[in-house]
């Protein structure tokens, strides 16, 4: 049974994209790559439903959350804070406002308005 290309799921689209990335093995017109990238970018995922199917939950923190505790940081720095929190995650503590604040302090020093130098 053939599946119409428009109904391929995101996993399949990503696998095709990865396979086509090997330019030595394939010569793929740039229009095809652009179309495929567009399909991947537009593919909507219902994260809540996807997690529920796996009996999982996820709590989401964003750069906007980091900016709540450290408004002096730019987007890239906020992302570095989130990445550090992820890589150094302690399941006993979780991620909290204080964890974000402390990680930002470790990476970028005290907040400019913080006269005492405490996180």
The answer to whether 64 and 82 are in contact (CB under 8 A) is no
Residue 103: its pLDDT value, please?
A: 97
Domain boundaries, the chain: 5-53, 63-108
- List, for residues 94-115, the tens digit of each pLDDT value: 999 999 999 999 999 999 876 5
Q: Give tens-digit pLDDT for 44-75.
A: 667 787 788 889 888 899 999 999 999 999 99
Contact 72, 103 (CB under 8 A): no
Determine the Cα angle at 74 with ends 103 and 59, to 5°. Answer: 50
Residue 34 confidence (pLDDT) above 90: no
The reply to whether the predicted model has a pTM over 0.75 is no
Place of tokens 């470790």: 106
Q: Could you tell me if 64 and 81 are in contact, meaning their C-beta atoms sit under 8 angstroms apart? A: no
């Amino acid at each position: 049974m053939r599946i119409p290309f428009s109904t391929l799921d995101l996993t399949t689209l990503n696998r095709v994209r990865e396979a086509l990335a090997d330019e030595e093995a394939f010569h793929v017109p740039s229009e095809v790559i652009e179309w495929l990238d567009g399909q991947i970018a537009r593919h909507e995922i219902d994260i809540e439903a996807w997690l529920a199917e796996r009996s999982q939950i996820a709590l989401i923190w964003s750069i906007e959350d980091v900016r709540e505790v450290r408004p002096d940081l730019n987007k890239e720095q906020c992302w570095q804070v989130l990445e550090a929190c992820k890589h150094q995650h302690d399941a006993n503590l979780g991620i909290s406002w204080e964890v974000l604040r402390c990680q930002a302090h470790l990476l970028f020093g005290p907040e400019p308005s913080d006269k005492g130098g405490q996180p």
